[in-house]
Amino acid sequence: MHRLVVIPGDGIGREVVPVAVEILEALLPGLQTREADAGWDCFQRQGCAVPEATFDALRECGAGLFGAVSSPSHRVPGYRSAILQLRQGLRLGTSLRPVRSWPSLSSRPGVDLIILRENSEGLYSGREHLEAEGVAIAERVVTREACLALAHRAQDVAKARHARRITLVHKANVLPLTCGLFRDTCREVLEGEGWASELDERLVDVAALQLVEQPEAFDLIVTTNLFGDILPDLACHWSGGLGLAPSLNWGEGIALAEPVHGSAPDIVGSGRANPLGAILSTALLLRYHWQEPVLAQRLEGAVESFLWEEGRADFGFETTRVVGQGILAAL
């Protein structure tokens, strides 16, 4: 029995999530869903971005699909991004962000990589303060515990995909303590598990350049929280853009699927939102959390044949509807 907490959130999250749920229900006829609230809108209505009932539902069901949140870029007393609260509160310590070429959309055919992002600490520690007028400080927290959890997840993913290369991406030349602890802990685990000859490392600036110049050279990238926020957005250019980028927030016995994109206020209500990021995020839930690789493959196969046939994923003001119907038909 599969149970899913559905959290549309803000903006286009409310447009793409129902489409992804309809498709997942077609694949998993016994799926039980329940809707929960979170986000900026929720904060304005209830004074709280993630109600306790949402945490409870996710802990109970063990799986969720999250649409998007809007977050103001200035400080709002009492507000912290809903997705950050969920990642930290539910100990979703890894974010899995694959980037691959899709038919008709990618300008390069051979890209197929996964970025594993530490998902709970680093510069996302929430520890930021004004020390004095004109002096703002953010604390970057790196713990051995979180690096161990990430490295063990990396080992699982590397094993499942027979990784030919694992690249640790960091900036240990400038941040020898935080990035050094990250690098050394990941090395210890992965070398201990027999991956020494596939293991490699890159400084983040050079990694960014190489992701542009030769993305095919990467297979599995393991990195810290902020670098793992930036690099997938850069790399997903090769897959056909942000509208197609999926992710999985992944903990022990609990996972929250989430398209990489945000609430896209510039297109909300226009029908232009691409639901593929949300749809492909549910494929990650199937493959990595529910251990249903055959269903995951069926879903990704349906996306592939839809894209072959249509040759595009942008149908103007009918994108959300046409893409959703097209994937359902391809299934």
Q: Which residues bind ligand IPM (CB under 6 A)?
A: 69, 71, 81, 83-84, 229, 260, 262
Residue for token pair 């793409």:
16
Q: Does 242 bind ligand NAD (CB under 6 A)?
A: yes
At residue 228's C-alpha, the angle toward residues 269 and 51, to 5°, is 55
From 20, 36, 65, 69, residue interacting with ligand NAD (rule: CB under 6 A): 69
Q: How far is the CB of 258 from ligand NAD (least distance, A)?
A: 6
Residue for token pair 């046939």:
309
Among the listed ranges 97-105, 132-140, 202-210, 266-274, the one in contact with ligand NAD (CB under 6 A) is 266-274
CA atoms of 314 and 281, how far apart (whole Å): 19
Residue for token pair 């300008």:
107
Q: How far is the CB of 49 from ligand NAD (least distance, A)?
A: 11
Q: How far is the CB of 74 from ligand IPM (least distance, A)?
A: 14
Q: Which of residues 200-239 bind Mn ion (CB under 5 A)?
A: 229
Q: Choosing among ligand NAD, ligand IPM, Mn ion, none, which partner's interface includes residue 280 (Cβ < 5 to 8 Å by kind)?
A: none
Q: How far is the CB of 37 from ligand IPM (least distance, A)?
A: 17
φ, ψ of residue 283 in degrees (nearest 5): -65, -35
Among the listed ranges 44-52, 69-77, 124-132, 152-160, the one in contact with ligand NAD (CB under 6 A) is 69-77
From 146, 151, 190, 273, residue interacting with ligand NAD (rule: CB under 6 A): 273
Q: How far is the CB of 22 from ligand IPM (least distance, A)?
A: 23
Q: Choosing among ligand IPM, Mn ion, ligand NAD, none, which partner's interface includes residue 37 (Cβ < 5 to 8 Å by kind)?
A: none
- Please compute, for residue 252, the number of CA atoms within 13 A of its CA located in the half-sphere on the CB side: 5
Count of positions (residues) in the chain: 331
Q: Residue 146: what residue type?
A: A
CB-CB contact of 279 with 327 (8 Å): yes
Q: By C-beta, is 15 or 229 nearer to Mn ion?
A: 229
Q: Does 118 bind Mn ion (CB under 5 A)?
A: no
Taking residues 279 to 308 in sequence order and writing x for each that binds ligand NAD by CB under 6 A, - otherwise, the string is ------------------------------
Helices 293-310, 276-284: inter-axial angle, 10-degree rounding: 160
Going by the DSSP 8-state scheme, the letter that residue 122 receives in this structure is B
CB-CB contact of 6 with 50 (8 Å): no
Q: By C-beta, is 265 or 301 nearer to ligand NAD?
A: 265
CA atoms of 329 and 331, how far apart (whole Å): 5
Q: Are strands 63-68 and 255-257 parallel, antiparallel or unpaired?
A: parallel
Residue for token pair 């030769």:
214
Q: By C-beta, is 24 or 323 nearer to ligand NAD?
A: 323
Q: How far is the CB of 191 from ligand NAD (least distance, A)?
A: 33
Q: Which of residues 49-68 bind ligand NAD (CB under 6 A)?
A: 68
Residue nearest to Mn ion (CB): 229
DSSP-derived secondary structure for 3-27: EEEEEEESTTHHHHHHHHHHHHHHH
Q: By C-beta, is 199 or 204 nearer to ligand IPM?
A: 204
Going by the DSSP 8-state scheme, the letter that residue 266 receives in this structure is T
Q: Residue 203: what residue type?
A: L
Residues that bind ligand NAD (CB under 6 A): 12, 16, 68-71, 83, 242-243, 258, 261-267, 272-274, 277
